[in-house]
Amino acid sequence: MTKDEVAKLVELVASRLADKGGGGTWLPTPTRPEPPGDPTPGMLPVWAGAAQTLPDVAPVRRPAGIARHRPEYPALVTAARQAAAARGASPLPAGSAAGAERAATQRTRREVKIGVSNRHLHVSARDFEALFGKGKSPMVRRPISQPGQYAAAESVAVVGPKGRIEDVRIVGPARGATQLEVSPADARVLGITAPVRLSGRLEGSAGGVALEGPAGKVQLASGVIIAQRHLHVAPADGKTLGVADGDKVAVECGPAGRRATLHDVLVRLGPGHATELHLDLDEANAAQVRTGDTAVIVAASRGAPAGKRRPLLTERDVAQIAARGDTLAVGGPYLVTPAARDRAKALGIWRDEM
């Protein structure tokens, strides 16, 4: 290339650069400056105000395994149905402490062990001496489930107007009043009609039977009962089982084909009780259960008799009690508000032991 040709080329380029009409835009058009930040490569910057990608404006199917905000609709329906049928805890969070406690109780099966009682005799010290000899008292053969009680080595024969039953076990220790507990079948054998009563409640109990021991006979004018089915509950188990003293519950027990629901089971809760459902031999045979089998509490009704409910004493009640000249004590058959207890102490009618 000669010097002339180079000069011609320079001229041509310069004229093209200067020519805005025909050549178009050799120089870049002015743009807004980029704000500081580090935009995602391939995306418009946030400040552009435009949708970034399609998923930002339209929901997409999540890949499997990623937690969702709420359960799938069919799962919700199932959970709600189960809760309605009381087959499971509520699908909703328990929320309160009470709700959490209820949920915990629902998860625990309300199961209790069964203890079957055969006919037996609780005997007074005086009647025991009449049956077995002066100065004698029941000998321990083996302890039974309820704390402090035992099956004694001694047994007696029971004679009724129609029949006789041998080897009726004595349950010790000796009690204040003699009490014979029989099943309805036993009562038929003896030829007597005995009422259903809770152990220890002998009002209206039957008589007309004789007890025969090696040293003598005792004629019973009363004290024969058919034991009311009952559930002993240790204080620690009351909350788990959802029962209180004096409640009545229904229990379900027995194998398929003999399964039975027993109603009117009285709850006896308190110190000195071990948790166990007590049935007599007839009831146990009807449902084909034995000692050690399990029953499930299926219903409960609050049934503390009015006399057993502990009234709440207020300051005013305490003042009235003081005016009557009575006193109050720890563990009495009443509940006392803290203020009322302070008042009782101030009035000098509070005792720290029964």
Residues 182 and 224: their CA atoms lie apart, in Å, by 7
- Please choose, out of 175-183, 274-282, 287-295, 341-349, the segment that lies near Zn ion by the rule CB under 5 A: 274-282
Cβ distance to Zn ion smaller for residue 114 or 159: 114
Neighbour-count burial of 94, counting CB atoms closer than 10 A to its CB (0-12 exposed, 13-18 middle, 19+ buried) = middle
- Least gap, CB of 186 to Zn ion (angstroms): 17
Which positions from 131 through 160 interact with Zn ion, judged by CB under 5 A?
none
- Least gap, CB of 348 to Zn ion (angstroms): 42
- Please choose, out of 24-32, 83-91, 118-126, 276-284, the segment that lies near Zn ion by the rule CB under 5 A: 276-284
CB of 165 closer than 8 Å to CB of 208: no
- Please choose, out of 187-195, 245-253, 275-283, 299-307, the segment that lies near Zn ion by the rule CB under 5 A: 275-283
Q: Please give the C-alpha separations between residue 237 and each of 144, 319, 329, in angstroms, as whole numbers.
A: 19, 37, 27
Which residue's structure tokens are 């290339």? Answer: 1
**Under the criterion CB under 5 A, does residue 122 sit at the interface with Zn ion?**
no
- Please choose, out of 5-13, 64-72, 246-254, 271-279, the segment that lies near Zn ion by the rule CB under 5 A: 271-279
- Please choose, out of 252-260, 270-278, 294-302, 340-348, the segment that lies near Zn ion by the rule CB under 5 A: 270-278
- Least gap, CB of 73 to Zn ion (angstroms): 52
Q: Please identify the residue of the shown chain whose CB is closest to the bound Zn ion.
A: 278
- Least gap, CB of 118 to Zn ion (angstroms): 12
Phi, psi for residue 13 in degrees, rounded to 5: -65, -45
Of the candidates 197, 273, 278, 343, which one interacts with Zn ion according to CB under 5 A? 278
- Which residues, 6+ apart, have CB-to-CB distance to 86 below 8 Å? 106
Cβ distance to Zn ion smaller for residue 99 or 195: 195
DSSP of 254-265: S-TTT-EEEEEE
- Which residues, 6+ apart, have CB-to-CB distance to 290 below 8 Å? 114, 116, 284
Q: Is the peptide bond before 39 cis (omega within 30 degrees of 0)?
A: no
Neighbour-count burial of 64, counting CB atoms closer than 10 A to its CB (0-12 exposed, 13-18 middle, 19+ buried) = exposed
Cβ distance to Zn ion smaller for residue 110 or 278: 278
Cβ distance to Zn ion smaller for residue 95 or 143: 143
Cβ distance to Zn ion smaller for residue 120 or 343: 120
Cβ distance to Zn ion smaller for residue 159 or 171: 171
Cβ distance to Zn ion smaller for residue 204 or 272: 272
Which positions from 295 through 324 interact with Zn ion, judged by CB under 5 A?
none
Q: Would you call 147 helix, strand, or coil by DSSP?
A: coil
DSSP of 161-210: SS-EEEEEEEEES-BSS-EEEE-HHHHHHHT----EE-TT--TT-B--EE
- Which residues, 6+ apart, have CB-to-CB distance to 24 below 8 Å? none
Residues 209 and 192: their CA atoms lie apart, in Å, by 8
- Least gap, CB of 226 to Zn ion (angstroms): 13
Cβ distance to Zn ion smaller for residue 122 or 278: 278
- Please choose, out of 182-190, 216-224, 277-285, 287-295, the segment that lies near Zn ion by the rule CB under 5 A: 277-285
Alpha helices in the chain (DSSP H): 3-18, 20-23, 54-57, 73-84, 97-107, 125-132, 184-190, 238-241, 281-287, 315-324, 338-347
- Least gap, CB of 266 to Zn ion (angstroms): 10
Cβ distance to Zn ion smaller for residue 278 or 343: 278
Q: How many binding residues for Zn ion (CB under 5 A)?
A: 1
Residues forming contacts to Zn ion in the complex (CB under 5 A) are: 278
